[in-house]
Structure 1
């Protein structure tokens, strides 16, 4: 849907709102994993990652404003149920299971972004007839930036992680695929509800 530019602008803003809520927790999750690990190399890599991720939630708020939304309202809002469930799961997995669980989330979110973000941004810019990257900084920047983060993930898994961490990473990734997908399913249901109401009103 996003690849052919068929996403209504209000739905794009709703997507950005949920992205804001999970992205603003990224550095907190990284810091939690760093505090819980005994692996010095892993901790150092997480600190480097924190430096790269700082401020990305502000990019999203700027995009929301540029797309005609209310960034202040989004910043003061509560995440959707699916977003809350995903965040709660990852926090719990890092705290209760293993600090390596964080890498399961990294694999899903950064991998999906690498595959889809730049292509989706191009299609949406054409559909909305937007010039430049106004309203699309989060998507356009992450399409390229997350290629580096995927390499970060591969380096950690191949060279730094203890073998016993791999099942934890895989299990967390499987859960986050499902929970992240629920965010989009919730957005889709919201769109169907709006469109259904419009058809009924007509």
Structure 2
């Protein structure tokens, strides 16, 4: 069994718990209000905008033995440039004020997930950041494209409202393959265990964002 397979196996319960949350299942079924969808995009903006700074910090703090991973991190940076603006453009296409979102504050759950990511990279071990990559890209691959289509049909919204979700559903399939390749090169057992731990924590923190949104918009199982 490869390390990537071990990672998926170890985090499967956490992934299933996230994907079974009411906001995600109802989103995939096209049962969200416009306000709930925009609220999701708002929280997405407030963590997506940190992707590049976090990747840069990760690359800078990797040990010399991980030079190959630093190169791979540079490729991720190129791929992720400007994605936060996609989110803002979707918000505007839905008829909401993207500048208000840009200059607003994240919800507490979002703020805590971002804070944990920076703490992991800068204080603990930058390898742990790839636990966040597993959670965010794996979730996108699983539900993003389907949810975009379902919400678009139920709310009668144009494709311009779904550039973030629609693109990430397809894009993250390629990213997942790339992720699998680099994760399988991590052979240090301590780093492997740390990555597993970080991924499980990020699943919990990301789930908290959807739980908060679910409570706000009265989404119930």
Q: Tell me the TM-score normalised to structure 1 length.
A: 0.92
The answer as to whether partners of 1:63 and 1:138 remain within 8 angstroms in 2 is yes
Residue deviations 1:63-122 (CA, integer Å, cap 9, x gap): 000011110000000111000000001111111211101110000000000000001001
Q: Which runs of 5+ in 1 are unaligned?
A: 194-202
Separation of aligned partners in 2, 1:181 and 1:102: 17
The answer as to whether partners of 1:13 and 1:64 remain within 8 angstroms in 2 is yes
Separation of aligned partners in 2, 1:4 and 1:141: 19
Residue deviations 1:4-38 (CA, integer Å, cap 9, x gap): 21100001000000000100000111011101002
| Structure having greater relative contact order (Cα 8 Å, sep ≥ 6) | 2
- The correspondence of residues 96-135 of structure 1 with structure 2, limited to 5 A, is 96-131=123-158, 133-135=159-161
Separation of aligned partners in 1, 2:208 and 2:96: 23
Q: Which runs of 5+ in 2 are unaligned?
A: 1-25
Separation of aligned partners in 1, 2:194 and 2:178: 18
Separation of aligned partners in 2, 1:161 and 1:150: 19
Equivalences, count: 193
Give the ranges of 4+ consecutive aligned residues of structure 1 lying more than 6 Å apart after TM superposition.
none
Q: Tell me the TM-score normalised to structure 2 length.
A: 0.84
- From the superposition, tell whether residues 109 and 175 of structure 1 become closer, same or farther in structure 2 (CA, over 3 Å): same
- Which range moved further: 148-157 or 44-53? 148-157
- From 165, 171, 188, give the equivalent of 2:197: 171
